Structure 1
């Protein structure tokens, strides 16, 4: 109940802030700008309320199905003068997976059977974690190599990432925020999740969007 109350209170503050700005100045401008010069050196924390990892698989060869992991947390250490030294460490709560189908969500989190193996993530899956090991920068784009740990298995993956904006947030304490998007494709079988292959594709497309707030 406390979490719900805080969420509703935050939504109320946001609505009040937006309403006040509209009353004072008419049309609003978003605070985030595609201006890399606004990024300051330091450590940033992921905003779990606005950071998501979407996943997409092909179903039966007919169409794609997708879901979301929300409440992403973690840190970014960055220095605009040495972007190649940036470090990313984020955690994704697999247990909070969301889909449009209640039945599918239940199946993804279904306990292991008599053989001791779950079809997908199981009843109490550990969070996934990505830790960068290398960053290659090309303008506002980057290739981020790192270790992804999922379902107890760690494998190297490469993210195609891009800078999407920076600026001070609209609500107090008006923290400097930077945004990034990224994408990659993994094989779920590499992480021990093989149920339904090839009826449901082995390849999983990941679509990442993260807002980091300066600490």
Structure 2
């Protein structure tokens, strides 16, 4: 039986390719987490928000440049603390017009429809952590639009390892929660635009 040259080449090179295939530096292995203080990597941390628009479709926007700190000890996860700041003024959407609407001043001196032209940063400060395996419930206080309310995050540990570029030990987490924007004084167009806002959070922390 004669085999095509392409088949022979593949049979020879496949083992070599398998040996040289890069491995992902971050692994969901808790034993990789080192106790200490970490700082959020703003270039690789973001918060997506989602609202229902007129009941026809869901609309999604982003907050980036998340800053903050994480203190964690794998031997005592209940003592972990998180303190992150979200620059609301940098909110972005797929529509320049909608982004402008979120940040424009109110008409004729009235209250802005949403955040306004000079919004304060939002901030989440944890008050308690309850961890099970690679998941955790994180209770805390969210300050948004000058109002502080309790919020609970359903969090998941996504990975730990050394960043191959800056060599920093990095840990990553994702989390979800749902808030009511009316609780924070942002009530324009409810219920045409949903009061409920779903948040999806992805943050990478680098060891200090």
* TM-score, normalised relative to structure 2: 0.90
1:197 aligns with 2:190: yes
- For 1:33 and 1:191, locate their aligned partners in 2 and report how far apart those are by CA, in whole Å: 37
Q: What secondary structure does 1:136 align onto?
A: strand
For residue 63 of structure 1, report the CA deviation from its aligned partner: 1.1
Runs of at least 4 residues off by over 6 Å: none
Asked if the contact 1:40–1:79 (Cα under 8 Å) also holds between the matched residues in 2, the reply is yes
- For 1:75 and 1:97, locate their aligned partners in 2 and report how far apart those are by CA, in whole Å: 21
Of 180, 183, 187, the residue aligned with 2:176 is: 183
- For 1:186 and 1:135, locate their aligned partners in 2 and report how far apart those are by CA, in whole Å: 19
For residue 138 of structure 1, report the CA deviation from its aligned partner: 1.1
Q: What secondary structure does 1:106 align onto?
A: helix
- 1:74 corresponding residue in structure 2: 68
1:65 aligns with 2:63: no
- 1:151 corresponding residue in structure 2: 145
Greater Rg over alpha carbons, structure: 2
Cα RMSD of the aligned pairs, angstroms, is: 1.2
- For 2:97 and 2:181, locate their aligned partners in 1 and report how far apart those are by CA, in whole Å: 20
* Unaligned segments of structure 2, at least 5 residues: 1-18
- For 2:163 and 2:200, locate their aligned partners in 1 and report how far apart those are by CA, in whole Å: 23
For residue 28 of structure 1, report the CA deviation from its aligned partner: 1.4
Q: What secondary structure does 1:95 align onto?
A: helix
Asked if the contact 1:112–1:123 (Cα under 8 Å) also holds between the matched residues in 2, the reply is no
- 1:12 corresponding residue in structure 2: none
- For 1:162 and 1:95, locate their aligned partners in 2 and report how far apart those are by CA, in whole Å: 27
- What is the number of residues matched between the two proteins? 191
For residue 201 of structure 1, report the CA deviation from its aligned partner: 0.2
* Unaligned segments of structure 1, at least 5 residues: 1-24
1:165 aligns with 2:159: yes
1:41 aligns with 2:74: no
